[in-house]
Amino acid sequence: MRILVERGPFLESCRLAERVLPARTTDLSRVHVLVQAGGDTCTLHAAGAGLALRLGVPAEVEQPGQALLPARQALAILREAEADVLLLESAPGRVRVAGDEAEFDLASPDPSRLPLVEPFPGGACHRVAAADLGRALARTLFATGQSTNRYALHAVLGEIEADRVRLVATDNRRLAVAEVPAEAHGEDLPLARRLLPATALRLLAKLTASALGPVRILFGMRQAFFEAGRATLKTRYVEGGFPHWRKVLPGKAKHVVPVVVGPFLASARQAATVREREGGRLMLRFEPGRVLLESRKQGAGRARVRQSLPLSGAVVEVALNPRYLVELLAALEPESTLLFGVTGPGEPVVASDGDGYRHVLVPLRPAQRD
């Protein structure tokens, strides 16, 4: 194999592939990325525990072939190399990376030790806009939790219907539900409900950021497949249960407060600067014409931030975990409007964007007032 690659794009591709590899393994081939060159294309193949990635990268193929590239050593070389274009050349047991004034000779096992990652399966699938899927992933992944004896809260529930894809994440203190429109291509596509590993979806979010065209999705019998641009990602499902999330959705809130995300996030961050390190709480008091955000730290003081809002009617208060509120707001576009549904001090808060996204926050006990 002998190929020429642009350092920047190849570095980013290797970074994505390296995320798939296991952190610890006794199989040396599993800490390598398989580089396959043929015709006018070059493809990276990486496989880990239940996760595999096939990624096409720009390259000029002078001689077809394949080689195992030691991922972490290659990343270190690519980060420090000064040449814009690099040569990758393989020989039995070795792979050479060369630039203008530097070259690196690396040990490389037999490439047959690592199987190729198959492309996206043919046939029926669902298609969603890459931007929509990326937005849904950003709005749900942060709400995952730790696995329990009963539920796999470290996973994200994926639900596919005829015209939509739904992602659901929870840690038992908050619940994030995001829906995106989908088109079914082909026949015999049954409704599907599967638990997907958050690690795989975080990588998928990276892939959607640069994908051109729609993302193809297929929930197979034992694993899910995603095709985003020149990348195909496959992942095994997570075993375990998941909460009946529809049962915990509150009814209609008594007060629905529209807030612009950017200014509200800034106020929440300011108010949360003075709070207990553990068990902190942020008090929100909605009054006619404004909202008051307040937190405190014993022996240190308290913070109060006021923000004008177009409110009318009765005063309503609720205490929330400040980190949960900030993470929710930070996952949304600053210019977007969030509908904040508040009923009372002991009732869950339901935030929605009116376009398929809902987020439930469990309230905390209000702080005592001086």
Point out the domain boundary residue: 113, 145, 168.
113
Point out the domain boundary residue: 113, 138, 165.
113
Residue 274 is predicted with a pLDDT of: 81
Sheet containing 282-287: which strands, arranged edge to edge? Answer: 301-308, 290-297, 282-287, 316-320
Residue 366 is predicted with a pLDDT of: 57
User: Each residue of 241-295: pLDDT tens digit?
Assistant: 999 999 989 989 988 989 999 999 999 999 988 876 766 889 999 999 999 999 8
Per the listing, tokens 């209609």 go with 252
Q: Do the domain assignments include residue 205? A: yes
Q: Do the domain assignments include residue 369? A: no
363 or 297: which leads in pLDDT = 363
Rounded Cα distance between 295 and 131, Å, is 36
Residues 319 and 230 in one domain: no
Residues 17 and 41 in one domain: yes
Domain that holds residue 349: 251-361
Q: What is the DSSP letter of 365?
A: P
User: Each residue of 109-128: pLDDT tens digit?
Assistant: 999 988 899 999 988 999 99
* Percent of all residues in the chain with a pLDDT value above 70, rounded to a whole number: 96
Backbone angles phi, psi at 23, to 5 degrees: -70, -35
**Residue 314 near residue 292, CB atoms below 8 Å:** no
CA 242-243-247 angle, to 5 degrees, is 150
Contacts of 165 (CB under 8 A, 6+ apart): 126, 128, 133, 136, 158, 159, 179, 180, 182, 217
Residues 240 and 259 in one domain: no
- Please state the domain count of the chain: 3
Rounded Cα distance between 366 and 27, Å, is 53
Q: Which amino acid is at 311?
A: L
Burial tier of 131 (Cβ tally within 10 Å: 0-12, 13-18, 19+):
middle
Q: Do the domain assignments include residue 368? A: no
Backbone angles phi, psi at 224, to 5 degrees: -105, 150
Q: Do the domain assignments include residue 366? A: no
Residues 162 and 239 in one domain: yes
* CATH code of the domain covering residue 316: 3.10.150.10
**pTM, 2 dp:** 0.92
Point out the domain boundary residue: 211, 230, 245.
245
